[in-house]
Structure 1
């Protein structure tokens, strides 16, 4: 990791995707490292979810940790209590914050006000954990990622942006077909282009 948080695929260091995929493969084969033994993780969900909540809770418990689920009705993120106060309170009580929010800025404010790792479980800008899950599925079916081609058909949304970055890092070509006015934001595309050139992969509309 480039820093304490995982808010974007860009937070992974060189080879980070491969390392995570290899670890996930071992866990699925029965090796369950107790890396979270004695740790308490706060699941802060402003936006509800079935799959994301269950997968995080199961994963945390399998790795020896304990999780506390906090819904938006309980905390009122940015309304009843500002993100800065929530971050400072959790900083004293838990070991990590996993947040699923509407605005990416909420993640940044949490990160800026705590020494704890903050993990993005979805925001309007990025969905890095989903992209990693997709990369794992590709690896399981293809046995590799380097040199493969991914086609994405749909809006240039948070998932598409995270996939464009993940594919570029993993050595895959990435093509996206989106309706006019629903394409990937220019800043995300430019970053993905830079990574793609460095990795000598192809990125196209």
Structure 2
């Protein structure tokens, strides 16, 4: 029997995704109440990090501990991956020893090749093409603060990066409108745009006007640090400040997957302001991933 993987949001149906969000909120309440919930006792998650991380590592490691299991941190420096062992061979070996694998890397092909040769579920902790676990946390946060996102409008400001691409998938699966504002040369591939739900613009005000959720990310993602100054110049008009947020819906929320560069993609006033839910969003990585782990490891 083939294992169930989570490489993009498309690996789940809309109904399954909604179930993950509901379960994540339940797990958040259980955690806040101090309840002991250990359905993954004896289970082990292998975590392969080819890109550095704070939230991904802490949330998966803490999540497995809270569910009664354990997690192993693996980096290229500490494994044969760093000495050129093929990813397919690593997958065959590691998946015989653990119950699930999470991978955070650059190339999406690395995750798919690993999954193709794994005996156990593989979770995408981040690639250059997708960041599905972060989208689970974002959507959980919106549902907890504002209810169903169906029919709402989300404004994405900035780079057409993995987060932007994941929001594009989410727009189709959760049936919301997505307006993407990006400078020329930095927008996602127009061929990926679903015209019924997704629109592209170079005008940040046009994207934000009346939006229910405003989202941004750093202007130079990991791997693009050499372009930092060039990107600052290109993205400066896309900074989320109080003036821009004022054009969104009155009860609009602001999200950022973090880490944030105050004074670049977002001002400190907005990041620390009343409309910002970034700290709940960050915490919900823990709860959403626990719900995902339950789905992958406990469901028949």
Shared fold, TM over 0.5: yes
1:86 to 85, 90, 104: 90
Residue range with higher mean Cα deviation, 118-127 or 74-83: 74-83
1:165 Cα deviation (Å)? 0.9
The answer for unaligned runs of 5 or more in structure 2 is 201-300
Name the CA distance, whole Å, in 2 between partners of 1:184 and 1:36: 39
Partner of 2:27: 27
Given that 1:97 and 1:117 are in contact with CA atoms closer than 8 Å, whether structure 2 keeps it comes out as yes
- 1:40 paired to 2:29: no
Q: Structure 1: which 4+ aligned runs deviate by more than 4 Å?
A: none
Specify whether residues 76 and 153 from structure 1 end up closer, same or farther in structure 2 by C-alpha distance, changes over 3 A only.
farther
1:129 match: 133
| 3-state DSSP of counterpart to 2:102 | strand
Contact map agreement 2:96 2:119 (CA 8 A) in 1 = no
Give the Cα separation in 2 of the matches to 1:14 and 1:141: 20
The alignment status of 1:148 with 2:143, answered yes or no, reads no
Query: For residues 56-103 of structure 1, what are the alpha-carbon distances to aligned partners after superposition, in whole Å with 9 as ceiling and x for unaligned?
Result: 111111111111110121125375311011101112110100000111
More displaced 10-residue stretch of structure 1: 55-64 or 32-41: 32-41
Asked if 1:161 is matched to 2:165, the reply is: yes
TM-score normalized by the length of structure 2: 0.61
- The answer to whether the 8 Å contact 2:171/2:198 transfers is no
What SS is found at the alignment partner of 1:136? helix
In structure 1, what is the equivalent of residue 14 of structure 2? 14
Q: Determine helix, strand or coil for the equivalent of 2:154.
A: strand
CA shift in 2, pair 1:141/1:64, >3 Å: same
In 2, distance between residues paired with 1:35 and 1:127?
Answer: 26
| 1:33 CA drift (Å) | 4.6
Q: How does 1:170-189 map to 2 (within 5 A)?
A: 170-186=174-190, 189=192
Does residue 68 of the first structure (1) align with residue 72 of the second (2)?
A: yes
Instruction: State the shift of 1:50 in Å.
Output: 0.8
Mean Cα displacement is larger for which, 28-37 or 125-134? 28-37
CA distance in 1 between partners of 2:89 and 2:36 (Å): 35
**Which shifted more, 35-44 or 98-107?**
35-44
**TM-score normalised to the size of structure 1?**
0.88
Deviation of 1:126 (Å): 0.6
